[in-house]
């Protein structure tokens, strides 16, 4: 029988190769749906436009998504963005969402 120290300490990790949902991240359709929802909660036209620009997944803008909404909704939007950040796999999207949440 071989020496147990010859065996690798752990198996090879294939996590970078698996689909986002399997790895615990949000899938692209889930991210697109959240961005659309957050655009409806946006407290200013500028924030709604920034959220729209974050997603190349959307093919058309929702009408009326940039209407001003009260500050309670801004707080809700910030909390929702911060709560899903750990599940955003794309580094650039993660950084831009984090920056956006810090401005709310």
* Residues 53-72: tens digit of each pLDDT: 776 444 333 333 334 445 56
Q: What's the pTM value of the predicted model, to 2 decimals?
A: 0.64
The percent of residues above 90 in pLDDT, for the chain, comes to 9
Domains in the chain: boundaries? 24-56+64-103
Are 21 and 34 in contact, with CB atoms under 8 Å apart?
no
Calpha distance 21→9 (Å, rounded): 27
Give residue 85's pLDDT.
94
Rounded to 10 degrees, the C-alpha dihedral 10/12/14/15 comes to 30
Torsion angles phi and psi, residue 68, rounded to 5:
-70, 140
Residue 6 is given by DSSP the state G
């Amino acid at each position: 029988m071989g020496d147990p120290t010859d065996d690798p300490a752990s198996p090879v990790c294939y996590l970078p190769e698996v689909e986002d949902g399997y790895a615990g991240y949000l899938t692209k359709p889930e991210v697109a749906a959240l961005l659309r929802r957050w655009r409806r909660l946006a407290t200013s036209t500028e924030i709604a436009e920034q959220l729209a620009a974050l997603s190349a997944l959307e093919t058309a803008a929702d009408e009326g998504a940039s209407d001003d909404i009260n500050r309670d909704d801004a707080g809700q939007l910030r909390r929702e963005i911060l709560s899903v950040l750990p599940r955003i796999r794309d580094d650039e999207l993660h950084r831009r969402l984090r920056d956006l949440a810090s401005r709310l």
